[in-house]
Amino acid sequence: MTKVGQENESLVEKDRQHVWHHISAYNEKNPPMIITEGKGAWITDHNGNRYLDGMSGLWCVNVGYGREELAKAAYEQMTKLAYAPLTQSHEPAIGLAEKLNEMLGDEYVFFYSNSGSDANEVAFKLARQYHQQNGESSRYKFISRYRAYHGSSMGALSATGQALRKYKYEPLAPGFLHVAPPDNYRRPAGQSIEEYNIQRAQEFEEKIIWEQKETIAGIIMEPLITGGGVLIPHPVYLEKVQEICQRHGVLLIIDEVICGFGRTGKAFGHQHFNVKPDIITMAKGLTSAYLPLSVTAVRKDIYEKFDTGEQNSHLRHINTFGGNPAACAVALKNLEIIEKESLVERSANLGERLQKELASLKDHPFVGDIRGLGFLLGIELVEDKKTKQPASNARVAKIIGECKANGLIIGRNGDTVAGYNNILALSPPLSCTDEDVDFMI
Ligand code: PLP
């Protein structure tokens, strides 16, 4: 064996000995990929194999790998001011908040944290406190959807609607309830998509009424379910949910952790719909994952219920790293790149092309549905198009393996317990070249 070959083998062995991988089970026959480099949409593993990263890491490297401007922004900020707690303030945090408000229409105030899970935890805490300070102290419950993922910490996992993610970690936080999301491909025969989506939205109202509306603090949802299988609602759905929230005094929390920053072909996923969220959570594409950072955006009139001068009326949440100056500086530069390179528009255009050119796959006996919004695509695989029986594990794994063997990383989503882990996902960097898209197709 060559020296390089031996070194690589020992790297795999050391990894096996020392690194506990996120969510994935590996064994000797199936070792993890050790990724050593990234440039544009492409990553290289420790054996020198190159792959187009069709998942942007974990749906997060929106501007692609190897951006020197981002490294420079981090370097310059770290050497100027590496850290300041946000019990105080600093210029990059102020600049970023201002920029985000420009994107959202100047109606929000921003609380910084480190991850999508953190941002959702903050949303839950501040929603409860808001209701308390608004004279409705009985409101503490949240409703989300089955198949949704909102994070791994106790509250965010409680809001998550995928049973296998919670299995063996329960009991989690009390007060988290779920309803079914719209799955247009599997809607009942004879029902129009619009009728079906209105009906699914009304399930929130039923839940609110059955649970007693005075106990409901908020509804949390992604604009479209991403990790749970790329489920894109009809526009009436979100509008109806918002109307229900407003009628019952329930806060609408929109989780833009994946959908934000151009992924769906608009700056934010909810901008496809006629809604104005009360709270918006963001992470991933905010820095394109070059540094950890997340944000909980809160409508100004909600923020004004805090810090009223009454004792303990301020939000008593803190984290050490949230809003780190270098992370904020990188986020600002990242947003500048997105703007300068028109990556939001590019996402819409590339996504449209991808969907158009992959449409012929619909004739394939195992392809039940192809759906997408912006540069985010789901391909639902079935065993039988008539019965829509989800494709077997082996079949889905084989396709993913074939793609990898041919240099393309794709994702797999859905909900394992419900048997719907049969959706292939594509969510490549928005900076993909036309040739990258040719390659994927
Ligand atoms: N919300 C959504 C929609 C997500 O997809 C994720 C992560 O994938 C999270 C929240 C949690 O984000 P993080 O992994 O940064 O905690």
Structural domain for 11, as ranges: 3-66+342-440
Domain identity same for 199 and 265: yes
- H-run or E-run covering 218: strand 216-221
Give the tokens for residue 411. 């994702």
Contact 431, 40 (CB under 8 A): yes
Q: Which of 315, 340, 365 is the last residue of a domain?
A: 340
Q: Best substitution site from 224, 257, 261, 415 to test ligand 1's pocket, by max atoms within 8 Å of Cβ? A: 257
Domain identity same for 59 and 83: no
Q: Which of 287, 307, 340 is the last residue of a domain?
A: 340
Q: Range with the lowest mean pLDDT among 30-34, 65-69, 109-113, 257-261?
A: 30-34
Question: For the purposes of burial, counting CB atoms within 10 Å of the CB of 145, is it exposed (0-12), middle (13-18) or buried (19 or more)?
Answer: buried
Number of domains in the chain: 2
Q: How many helices (H) and strands (E) does the chain have?
A: 14, 16
Domain identity same for 326 and 252: yes
What span, in angstroms and rounded, lies between the C-alpha atoms of 330 and 412?
Answer: 30
Q: Which of 300, 324, 340 is the last residue of a domain?
A: 340
Domain identity same for 54 and 106: no
Domain identity same for 17 and 126: no
d(CA 283, ligand 1 centre) in Å: 8
Domain identity same for 113 and 191: yes
Domain identity same for 348 and 219: no
Q: What is the CATH number of the domain that holds 142?
A: 3.40.640.10
Domain identity same for 152 and 38: no
d(CA 176, ligand 1 centre) in Å: 17
Domain identity same for 328 and 350: no
- pLDDT tens-digit profile of 296-326? 999 999 999 999 999 999 999 999 999 999 9
Domain identity same for 357 and 234: no
Q: Identify the residue whose C-alpha is closest to ligand 1 atom 7.
A: 151
d(CA 59, ligand 1 centre) in Å: 9
**3-state SS assignment for residue 367:** strand
Rounded to an integer, what is the distance from CA 345 to the centroid of its chain? Answer: 19
Q: Which residues contact 390 (CB under 8 A, 6 or more apart)?
A: 381, 382, 383, 414, 419, 420, 421, 422
- H-run or E-run covering 412: strand 411-415
- pLDDT tens-digit profile of 384-417? 999 999 999 999 999 999 999 999 999 999 887 7
Q: Best substitution site from 225, 258, 319 to test ligand 1's pocket, by max atoms within 8 Å of Cβ? A: 258
d(CA 123, ligand 1 centre) in Å: 14
Q: What is the CATH number of the domain that holds 387?
A: 3.90.1150.10
Q: Identify the residue whose C-alpha is closest to ligand 1 atom 10.
A: 150
- Enumerate the H helices of 134-169 as residue ranges: 154-159, 163-166
- pLDDT tens-digit profile of 325-358? 999 999 999 999 999 999 999 999 999 999 999 9
Domain identity same for 213 and 128: yes
